[in-house]
Amino acid sequence: MERKPETQIQNAPSDIISSVKFSPNTNQFLLVSSWDSSVRLYDVVNNTLRQKYYHDAPVLDCAFHDSVRTVSAGLDNLVKLYDLNTHAESILGSHDAGVKCVEYSSKANGILTGSWDKTVRLWDIRDKDCVGKYEQSNGKVYSMSCIDEKLVVATSERKVLVWDLRNMGQYLTRRESSLKFQTRAIRCFPNKEGYVMSSIEGRVAVEYFDMDPEVQKKKFAFKCHRSKENNMELIYPVNAVSFHNVFNTFATGGSDGYVNIWDGFNKKRLCQFHLYDSSISSLAFSYDGSTLAIACSYLDEAEVPPEPVPQPTLYVRYVSEAETKPK
């Protein structure tokens, strides 16, 4: 039986989908966190909801530590560990405010969480202990991403802090975002050369770690997720960014309901998918880039809410090389 290029996943969360993440080394299992306080594990190949557990408040992010253990956090300030085999839940610890970001770091062999309490914390899941607390230069953490030893943290006041996970005594650099408005998402290039960040004002920036002036000349920003209506430009937040690990291309998702794929090195858009049900709230490529998870959620952007308010929906798209490979 031929597989459809795109599948809508059944039993989606009942409130905003905050994050989608594929299991390491497979495109079969997808972890999903939501404002309905749930964390869900889907088998997207068989389109079934396999497991579900809850926090006491909206969950803002989730991650796989490995193929059998997941970590999630949100507005209850708690960092929760869940074992998919035994269904055992445990609390790793807590922040002093809502936790916005959860990332697994292979280099640190632990879980990194970023919070509105202006810290990033490192958790050892064996000892269920916080083994590092790092002040983020007085900025609330809005988005973060790590690759090998590099950690980038986008904070309030449009700042970006670059850290080396091998030496967390002090950040490497503190930069101002080249985007004039609040950061929504930041993601490291798989080739470790830099990062991509998006803002609420329909723009994306491609930045490089190397401070050599010749390298810094390559950085650029571009407008996207905008449309014209009656001679007026409508500008939408770019809520989500996800990289294709093989091709170093990336997907962006906006409140215009579109997903675009970009070749950042050649400054080109490779493709745009069809219009989705509502704002794209989260995106995730699988490790091999074969599959893209797409979360749609109405994010309360309109002055007058639509009638009826769109329900959250979840899709997996089996992308082709033509859609994702640099031309």
Longest CA–CA span in the chain (Å) reads: 59
Q: What tens-digit pLDDT sequence spans the chain (327 residues)?
A: 456 899 999 999 999 999 999 999 999 999 999 999 999 999 999 999 999 999 999 999 999 999 999 999 999 999 999 999 999 999 999 999 999 999 999 999 999 999 999 999 999 988 889 999 999 999 999 999 999 999 999 999 899 999 999 999 999 999 999 899 999 999 999 999 999 999 999 999 999 999 999 999 999 999 999 999 889 999 999 999 999 999 999 999 999 999 999 999 888 999 999 999 999 999 999 999 999 999 999 988 777 888 888 999 999 999 999 999 998
> The domain spanning residue 86 has which CATH number?
2.130.10.10
Does residue 89 form part of some domain? yes
Does residue 325 form part of some domain? no
Q: Which of 101, 106, 109, 203 is nearest to 152 (CA)?
A: 101
Does residue 136 form part of some domain? yes
Does residue 169 form part of some domain? yes
Does residue 9 form part of some domain? no
Domain carrying residue 112:
69-283+297-305
The pTM of this model reads 0.96
Alpha-carbon gap, residue 317 to 5, rounded angstroms: 6
- Residue 324, classed as helix, strand or coil, is helix
Does residue 56 form part of some domain? no
Does residue 161 form part of some domain? yes
Does residue 77 form part of some domain? yes
Specify the number of domains making up the chain: 1
Alpha-carbon gap, residue 197 to 187, rounded angstroms: 6
Alpha carbon 36 to its chain centroid, in Å, reads 18
